[in-house]
Amino acid sequence: MHIITTTEALAAFCDRASAADYVTIDTEFLRERTYYAKLCLIQMALPGPDGPEGGEAVIVDPLAEGGLSLAPLAELMRNESTVKVFHAARQDLEIFWFEMAVMPRPLFDTQVAAMVCGHGDQVGYETLVRKLARGQVDKASRFTDWSRRPLTEAQLSYALADVTHLRVIYEKLARELEATGRDRWVAEELELLIDPETYITRPEDAWKRIKTRSNGGRFLAIVRELARFREAHAQSRDVPRNRVFKDDALLELASIKPATHDDLRRARLLLREARKGEIAEGILAAVAAGQAVAPGDFPDPGPDRAGLHVNPALADLLRVLLKARCEATGVAQKLVASASDLDAIAAGERDLPALRGWRREVFGADALRLCAGDLALGVRGQSVEVIERTAAPGVQGAAG
């Protein structure tokens, strides 16, 4: 087991990796006590000379005594000739962006590819190891403190297994995508993953993540200012936002609108530490700022908050259509459209991912035709059939 603890050793490995067709990558990190994830390990593996297995595999220790620079790794991530292979890459990419200001290109995510190839919704790594690599992963070290040193042999073996099996999984999925012509579907999905905007949370937009019971303009203005303060404070102190105050406390504060420190004592859900000092001052200032917002500048709740006028019968038909189309094409339903997407389509919304790109080919175009009454759904045995209305106008159960 090769553990890299110096910049020189990392640079040497990255030079070798830059000559390979691909490199598999995973990370171990902690973020329970911080806003930004703390990078603890990086695992990488290369294919062997005669196939995916048997190639070099290493563990990079960014917390090694004396420290090491990740600059050679950043250079490898920019190397367009070597594919960077991850499984469920989102959190890894977020770390790479904030640690090195780099996005791996070209990227391959085996979870996305597996969903496109019909291996299930958000299929886990262990499942793919069993199905495609005919191996097993010891889960005993999954929940462990990766920041503590020294690491045990069990921890290191577990970490390395996350990239060694990944080589076989990648090669099999890549062949399957090429055979079906769906590699461009995956490429389209990955464009969102490698967009830095996916990982940037701006304090002024933090309120959009909060589920509210009221859409009143003044209430949302105060929610926006409280969320803005909390996010900025959490980012600047590198603490989890819930350590500042939780969502339920934020909503309570927006309701009671405290103007003084005495008013803060009325907040039942506010942590004791937040009732004093800079957090308390920030809360009071945020509430005052929300109270001062002119009605013309109230936040726009958007269709999700304002409430959609959903045709429930049409929404049900869209669910049946989605299931039928995904079964026919072998694509995971969750990757194509969510339940809220279907409700939005049934309510007349049209600016949705489910109606664009490759999703339009699989489902979106038929969904729009169903809404327009140009398609009907019928049943033959255990299967749902999509029927052209003009070809079969008398079919019972037709939409529209």
CATH code: domain of residue 150: 3.30.420.10
**Of the residues 303, 320, 337, which one is the last residue of a structural domain?**
303
pLDDT at 140 exceeding the cut of 80: no
CB 159 within 8 A of CB 1: no
* In a shared domain, residues 194 and 281: no
Q: Is residue 399 part of a domain?
A: no
Domain end among 273, 303, 333: 303
Please indicate, yes or no, whether residues 192 and 215 belong to a single structural domain of this protein: no
Q: Of the spans 42-51, 205-214, 220-229, which averages the highest pLDDT?
A: 220-229
Q: In which domain, by residue range, is 141 found?
A: 2-199
CATH of the domain at 238: 1.10.150.80
- Say if residue 11 is in the same domain as residue 136: yes
Tell me, yes or no, whether 393 lies in a domain: no
Helices marked H in 200-350: 217-237, 241-244, 247-256, 261-264, 277-291, 302-306, 312-329, 333-336, 339-346
Regarding beta strands 22-30 and 83-86, do their DSSP bridges make them parallel or antiparallel, or are they unpaired? parallel
Let me know: does 386 contact 322? Beta carbons within 8 Å: no
- Residue 168, domain member (yes or no): yes
Does 171 score more than 80 pLDDT? yes
CA distance 293 to 363: 43
Helix orientation angle between 125-132 and 153-180, rounded to the nearest 10 degrees: 70
Rg (CA), the chain: 25
What are the tokens at 16? 């070798």
- 60 & 145 share domain: yes
Q: Are residue 12 and residue 147 in the same domain, yes or no?
A: yes
Backbone phi and psi for residue 35, each to the nearest 5 degrees, phi listed first:
-75, -50
How confident is the model at residue 203, as a pLDDT?
97
pLDDT band at 306 (very low <50, low <70, confident <90, very high): low
Q: What's residue 305's pLDDT? A: 55
94 occurs within a structural domain = yes
Distance CA 108, CA 87 (A): 8
pLDDT category, 303, cuts 50, 70, 90?
Answer: low
**pLDDT value, residue 400:** 38
> What whole-number distance in Å separates Cα of residue 243 and Cα of residue 356?
39
Each residue's pLDDT tens digit, 349-399: 999 999 999 999 999 999 999 999 999 898 887 788 888 876 444 444 434
Mean pLDDT of the chain: 92
Pair 368, 314 in one domain: yes
Q: 18-27, 132-141, 278-287, 291-300 — which is least confidently predicted?
A: 132-141
Q: Which of 165, 199, 233 is the last residue of a domain?
A: 199
The answer as to whether 376 is a domain residue is yes
pLDDT surpasses 70 at 313: yes
* Each residue's pLDDT tens digit, 83-130: 999 999 999 999 999 999 999 999 999 999 999 998 988 789 999 999
In a domain, 147, yes or no: yes
- Whole-Å CA distances, 114 to 106, 212, 277, 296, 375: 18, 35, 50, 47, 30
- What's the rounded mean pLDDT across residues 241-252? 96
**Tokens standing for residue 136:** 């097993």
Q: What is the pLDDT of residue 3?
A: 95
Task: Give the span between the Cα atoms of 339 and 118, in whole angstroms.
Answer: 19
* pLDDT of the residue at 379: 85
400 found inside a domain: no
Residue 133 contacts residue 165 (beta carbons within 8 Å): yes
Element (H, E) at 59: strand 57-60
For residue 225, pLDDT beyond 70: yes
What would the two tokens of residue 393 be?
Answer: 């106008």
pLDDT at site 210:
94
Looking at residue 129, its pLDDT comes to 94
- Per the structure, the count of domains in the chain is 3
| Calpha distance 291→22 (Å, rounded) | 55
Burial class (CB in 10 A: 0-12, 13-18, 19+), 396: exposed
Whether residue 39 is contained in a domain is answered as yes
pLDDT at residue number 292: 97
- CA torsion through residues 331, 361, 340, 187, sign: positive
